[in-house]
Structure 1
Amino acid sequence: MKNLITRALTGIIFVVVLAGAIFFHSISYLIVFGIIIFLTLKEYYGLSEQYTAIKKTSWLYCLGGVYLFLATFLYMGSYTTAQVFLPYLLFIMYIIISEIYRKTSTPILNWAFVIFGQLFCALFFSLANFIVFTKNGNEESTYTPLLLLAIFIFVWMNDTGAFLIGSLLGKHKLFERISPKKSWEGFYGGLLFALASSFVFAYLFPDISWYKWLGLAAVIVIFGTWGDLCESLLKRTLGVKDSGHLLPGHGGMLDRFDSVIMAIPAALIYIELAIRN
């Protein structure tokens, strides 16, 4: 019971801070997400240190991921041109070339762990900038946080429904090899909660058709579940229960954002194909 209360309080504070940062202003969104990406990468590279020789330079990889987010923010916000990505391209080249001089026995593992972290934790998060900014024909950008906020709310509703229904009715394992506690009943419970919340968005924001909101919620649940399972596979492979201990009752940053990380690129594809066109 105590752990449930701690988890609930942490979740409430987390939701308020994140939703407030997204909705309040583009700068608050930039700051909060920059911190999230840094902490997520720091946690990820910390988990991989036992398999690689990147401990001394892990902070540099964290900053590189934050720079990618900043670069996409500046580009999509029409603050600068695509040349802002050139330093990050040099950074990726450095990651590859630096292994020549490390003289370690695990260069391929080093490449794999470092670049996967940039892909999973930095690139997928950075794609959120393509959701919150819309450009007109004159390449002028507008900060429109509604859809990103909806993504997070659908993820939270899915998590809540999956936890409640799974705890009460869960019998059939969803993917026992990777995550023994997850059930099909929990999955459908989370889907039901998310789909129900999409009708609230359809009522409050009728400019987007109800069935498009419904489709977005379904995409978030499906890919968010896959993101959760991917992170569970990562932890199981590395032999850890939680990715960290930063968030009481929730574990680490990866534990908290695993669903969102995979949901963002899937949502971007859906938004571009079904909502903006």
Structure 2
Amino acid sequence: MKNLIVRTISGIGLVLMTILIISKGGTLMSYSVFFSSLIGIREFYIALENKELKPIKVIGYISCFLFLFYSLDYKWVSLIYIFIFLTLALVISFILKKDISFIDIIATLFGILYIPFLMQHIIYLDGTIYIWLIFIIAWGTDTFAYLSGTLFGKTKLCPKLSPKKTVEGSLGGILGAILSTLIFVRYIGVFPIWKFLLLSLLGSIVAQLGDLTASKIKRLTGIKDYGFILPGHGGILDRFDSILFVAPLVYYFVNFFL
């Protein structure tokens, strides 16, 4: 009961902070994504060390700074330049450092693509009403999946990967995302509604894939949570695992279909 109260209070605080950041946008948004990326990639690299991997943390951290500069519209920074730099840095590290294996290089690069790169897509929607859909879909899925699984969950979804997840919870998450999106689009008056409902359906599925991906990584590395920065929730990656996958989907769906 105590853990539920802590989790609820922490969750409400996170939601309120997110609303503030999205409402303000701009520089606050860029720095918020930057710090989240920095903490998230640190959590990921620390988890990998349990498998005796040696990701080159400094390159991962530098990538977060470069993405920050890109989001702040520094003229000398572009995505192409960022990835050219990262590629050269990883190749040079592989050549010069005897204790760095090819797997370590892959792990370092995966962390960069998985966390700061995917999280950047939140910033791409800054200043638009569509940015709200990232969090409505992701957290709507998480919340309703948890409630549905708790109340009705019987059939295990992926027992070997995440024993607590159920088919009923998964379906409840999808329904929750659709209903939450429907309320939002009806409130702001955007059309056609069927496209947003399709987005919420796809987004909910992707959100759950993001959750399962994070669970797979945790199981492989032998950890329960990525961290403890969010009381009752764990680390940044424990709370943003679904958002990492939903943000790019919403961004590209909006650009190509809306």
Using structure 2 for the length normalisation, give the TM-score.
Answer: 0.92
| Residue number among 251, 255, 268 corresponding to 2:238 in the alignment | 255
Alignment of 1:196-235 (within 5 A): 196-235=179-218
**1:116 matched to 2:117:** no
The 1:69–1:263 alpha-carbon spacing in structure 2 relative to 1, beyond 3 Å, is: farther
Match of 2:54 in 1: 53
Match of 2:37 in 1: 37
CA distance in structure 1 between the aligned counterparts of 2:27 and 2:101, rounded to whole angstroms: 38
**1:103 matched to 2:98:** yes
Percent of pairs with identical residues: 30
Match of 1:138 in 2: none
Q: What is the CA distance between 1:252 and its match in structure 2?
A: 1.0
Aligned residues of 1:69 and 1:123 also touching (Cα < 8 A): no
Aligned residues of 2:118 and 2:244 also touching (Cα < 8 A): yes
CA distance in structure 2 between the aligned counterparts of 1:118 and 1:271, rounded to whole angstroms: 24
CA distance in structure 1 between the aligned counterparts of 2:91 and 2:5, rounded to whole angstroms: 46
Q: What is the CA distance between 1:127 and its match in structure 2?
A: 2.3
CA distance in structure 2 between the aligned counterparts of 1:84 and 1:108, rounded to whole angstroms: 24
Q: What is the CA distance between 1:181 and its match in structure 2?
A: 0.7
Aligned residues of 2:4 and 2:232 also touching (Cα < 8 A): yes
Cα offsets for 1:224-275 (capped at 9, x unmatched): 0000001100011111111111111111111111101111122222222221
- What runs of 5+ residues in structure 1 fail to find an aligned partner? 133-142
The AA in structure 1 aligned to 2:39 is L
The 1:233–1:201 alpha-carbon spacing in structure 2 relative to 1, beyond 3 Å, is: same
Secondary structure of the equivalent of 1:174? strand
Aligned residues of 2:137 and 2:200 also touching (Cα < 8 A): yes
Q: What is the CA distance between 1:25 and its match in structure 2?
A: 2.7
Aligned residues of 1:69 and 1:122 also touching (Cα < 8 A): no
Q: What is the CA distance between 1:217 and its match in structure 2?
A: 1.3
**1:187 matched to 2:170:** yes
Q: What is the CA distance between 1:82 and its match in structure 2?
A: 6.4
Q: What is the CA distance between 1:80 and its match in structure 2?
A: 3.3
After TM superposition, what 4+ stretches of structure 1 lie above 3 angstroms from structure 2?
A: 79-85
Aligned residues of 1:99 and 1:107 also touching (Cα < 8 A): yes
Aligned residues of 2:21 and 2:29 also touching (Cα < 8 A): yes
The AA in structure 1 aligned to 2:24 is F
Between stretches 203-212 and 1-10, larger displacement belongs to 203-212
Alignment of 1:150-189 (within 5 A): 150-189=133-172
Between the two proteins, the alignment pairs up a number of residues equal to 257
Aligned residues of 1:190 and 1:221 also touching (Cα < 8 A): yes
Using structure 1 for the length normalisation, give the TM-score.
Answer: 0.86
Aligned residues of 1:34 and 1:70 also touching (Cα < 8 A): no
Match of 1:136 in 2: none
Q: What is the CA distance between 1:85 and its match in structure 2?
A: 4.5
The AA in structure 1 aligned to 2:102 is I
